[in-house]
Amino acid sequence: MIYLLHGENTSASRNNLLSIQKKHSNTPGHLIGKTELNPQTTTPSHLIDNCMYIDMFGNPTFIVFDISGTGRQNLSPYAEKLNEVPKATILVIYSDKELTKINPLLIEAQKNNATIMLSPLFKNANVFRFIDNVYALKRKQSYLELRNLLNSQEDEIYILTMLEYGLRSISYTKFESK
């Protein structure tokens, strides 16, 4: 079984990893042992050799393949080897960044019906901080806060009405309206 965990929310990814480890453990309350590998120290054939390991106590092999620090390293040789992973082996491919759609490991994982879990990072979005930045003429901070608001699924109409609220407050103050 192959899992692919990626996304910038590392705590959610680690929680997903722990739940996968608990799910496949034969003994309740006991975690199966995991082997952590990365492309800097592991060749594609070494990865498959580790996947072929058989535990004498009946626990499946649990391998975490961390591709976080690879940068622009070519991962195609590793992707080609995903077809050779036995069904009894649990291979978790982990990245602390969101993988692009053209990533070879993501493409091969989809072909092999792997379970893909995305853990996006939601920053603390605050509409009042956005309004303050807009009316303080802080363009860069305003755009960053707007992006955070939109990523956190904030309603666009609500953001617009809050902008109008800020404009009304400034006009009341400037023209001394009641």
Residue that terminates a domain, selected from 76, 96, 118? 118
Rounded Cα–Cα distance for residues 44 and 77 (Å): 6
Looking at the fold, whether 60 and 91 belong to one and the same domain comes out as yes
Looking at the fold, whether 63 and 82 belong to one and the same domain comes out as yes
Looking at the fold, whether 105 and 31 belong to one and the same domain comes out as yes
With 0.75 as the threshold, say if the pTM is over it: no
CATH number at residue 21: 3.40.50.300
Looking at the fold, whether 78 and 45 belong to one and the same domain comes out as yes
| Domain enclosing residue 110, as ranges | 2-118
Looking at the fold, whether 147 and 108 belong to one and the same domain comes out as no
Alpha helices in 25-138 (DSSP H): 44-51, 76-80, 104-111, 127-135
What are 168's two structure tokens?
A: 């009304």
Looking at the fold, whether 108 and 136 belong to one and the same domain comes out as no
Looking at the fold, whether 14 and 52 belong to one and the same domain comes out as yes
Number of domains comprising the chain: 2
Residue that terminates a domain, selected from 101, 118, 135? 118
Is the pLDDT reported for residue 122 higher than 80?
no
Per-residue pLDDT tens digits for 153-175: 788 999 999 999 999 988 888 88
Q: Give bridge partners of residue 36 from the DSSP assignment.
A: 64
Looking at the fold, whether 27 and 95 belong to one and the same domain comes out as yes
Per-residue pLDDT tens digits for 18-39: 888 888 877 676 777 788 998 8
